[in-house]
Amino acid sequence: MDARNATRTDAAARRPAPPTGLAASLAVARSGAGALGGRRRLGMLALVGLPVLFQVVVLIWGGGRGSAFANFVWLVDKIYLRAIAPLVLIFVGTAAFGDEWDGGTAPYLLGAPIKRSTIVLGRWSAAVARALVLLLPAILVLYVLCLLPFEGAMANYLGELGAVLLATTLMGLAYGAVFLFLGLALRRSVMVSFIIALVFEGFIGSLPYGFGVLSLGFHARNLVWRLTGHEGFHPPTFGLDVGEPISAAASILFTLLAGVVLFLLLSAWVLRRKQFAGGAGTDGADS
């Protein structure tokens, strides 16, 4: 028994301390990252690359017609910020934990000696990074393609481009938190997320001022408009005299970041209470 005691004492001494802070978040972000199947990666790539492909076709066969900064604005506003970005973030956000429940790998993550809030933070940052690594280059390429026919034009709209990239990043952070929370809290999270994206982004976000504040996309587009003053990002008025749209850039920024913090805190709360008990005919997680 003494020999046993010595063996276990040695083992305890050799064992590293539990990871904390950034190291823990990075470890969580990395875990399972290589598990995303090739077909799913290809699907996301195709979705994000579709407008780029469209613009290539316009460039080759359109002889420069339809290539202008206005086109870039239209594609970013109507296609990327309203549709593709939410879709990609639904995909990566709900999968951040959903895949663990479905694949039976949750015990490896939840059994790790890491605080649940750190696990949430790690998985959220991984999901957002996975989305942005596709979205930002696509928008950048689109910018180049739209302005390629016009000599020297690319340098004229760099401020607008920066604002668009910033808004997309902020939108990614916020939507990543929302969809990660839904993936944790709901069994049919993908369906609910689609409905939320459709209702809030497709409908409410397009209503005149007042209603739009309920849409994250509205805030993101509003931020671009506030920063650049480009009319293409001006919130719709439907001919109504509704006064100035909400707030300055700083308060939009605050709204988006507050949304991120709120949903991350909710996610950590849900994960801390999550029961992975199986039994009674189920083998997954139950709340």
Q: Among residues 78, 187, 188, 272, which is the contact residue for other proteins, using CB under 8 A?
A: 272
In the complex, the smallest distance separating the C-beta of residue 13 from other proteins, rounded to whole angstroms, is: 6
Stretch that binds other proteins, among 71-79, 232-240, 250-258, 278-286 (CB under 8 A): 278-286
Alpha-carbon distance 282 to 80, whole Å? 39
Asked whether position 45 contacts other proteins by CB under 8 A, the answer is no
Stretch that binds other proteins, among 16-24, 51-59, 152-160, 194-202 (CB under 8 A): 16-24
Q: Among residues 42, 43, 229, 283, which is the contact residue for other proteins, using CB under 8 A?
A: 283
In the complex, the smallest distance separating the C-beta of residue 277 from other proteins, rounded to whole angstroms, is: 4
DSSP string for 96-141: HHHHHHHHT-HHHHHTSSS-HHHHHHHHHHHHHHHHHHHHHHHHHH
In the complex, the smallest distance separating the C-beta of residue 185 from other proteins, rounded to whole angstroms, is: 16
Q: Give the closest residue to 226 by CA, choosing from 201, 259, 257, 250.
A: 250
In the complex, the smallest distance separating the C-beta of residue 193 from other proteins, rounded to whole angstroms, is: 23
Query: Around Cβ 45, how many Cβ atoms within 10 Å?
Result: 13
In the complex, the smallest distance separating the C-beta of residue 21 from other proteins, rounded to whole angstroms, is: 12
Alpha-carbon distance 168 to 191, whole Å? 23
Taking only Cα atoms into account, the Rg of the chain, rounded to an integer number of angstroms, comes to 22
What are the b/e assignments for 153-188, b being 16+ CB within 10 Å?
eeeebeebbebbbbbbbbbbbbbbbbbbbbbbbbee
C-beta closer to other proteins: residue 9 or 156: 9
C-beta closer to other proteins: residue 24 or 76: 24
- Report 75-114 residues binding other proteins (CB under 8 A): 103-114
Stretch that binds other proteins, among 15-23, 131-139, 161-169, 206-214 (CB under 8 A): 15-23
Asked whether position 187 contacts other proteins by CB under 8 A, the answer is no
DSSP state of 280: T
In the complex, the smallest distance separating the C-beta of residue 261 from other proteins, rounded to whole angstroms, is: 21
Alpha-carbon distance 202 to 217, whole Å? 9
C-beta closer to other proteins: residue 33 or 144: 33
Q: Give the closest residue to 171 by CA, choosing from 111, 105, 87.
A: 87
Query: Around Cβ 16, how many Cβ atoms within 10 Å?
Result: 6
Asked whether position 36 contacts other proteins by CB under 8 A, the answer is yes
In the complex, the smallest distance separating the C-beta of residue 246 from other proteins, rounded to whole angstroms, is: 40
- Interface residue list for other proteins (CB under 8 A): 3-5, 7-9, 11-19, 23, 26-28, 30-32, 34-38, 103-116, 272, 275-280, 283, 286
